[in-house]
Amino acid sequence: MKAGWYPNRRDVWTVATEPYKGAHFATMPTRLIEPCILASSRPGDVVLDPFSGAGTVGLVASRLGRRHIGVELSLEYCQMAEQRIYDDAPLLAGVAL
């Protein structure tokens, strides 16, 4: 399947879980959020994640050329998301708490 192309999405999506060594208990698979970001934004747009957690939305947004604003109450999760996004692309990451 080529990047950015998704055949007819239906009501139920089958998406495998992805391991993440971080401590967050509900890390969302990147393949779950990717079609949502592609369908609702263009490169350069800003993606808002009001429950940022481990930063999956920010990670995928960054990979797809979008900017990201993540809101998270837990400083521990903010730091985890910051490190996760930075580790994915350290030269491109513009993460700030």
Residue 36: how many other CB atoms lie within 10 Å: 13
Phi and psi at 49, nearest 5°, equal -125, 100
Residue 35 forms part of a structural domain: yes
Structure tokens at 97: 């708490």
Nearest one of 86, 93, 26, 17 to 53, comparing CA atoms: 26
For the chain, what is the domain count?
Answer: 1
Residue 10 forms part of a structural domain: no
Q: Map residue 27 onto helix, strand or coil.
A: coil
CATH of the domain at 69: 3.40.50.150
Q: Which domain holds residue 65?
A: 30-88
Residue 4 forms part of a structural domain: no
Average pLDDT rounded to a whole number, residues 19-44: 82
Residue 23 forms part of a structural domain: no
Residue 14 forms part of a structural domain: no
Residue 7 forms part of a structural domain: no
Which amino acid is it at 88?
A: D
> What are the pLDDT digits (tens) for 35-88?
999 989 999 999 999 999 889 999 999 999 999 999 999 999 899 999 989 888
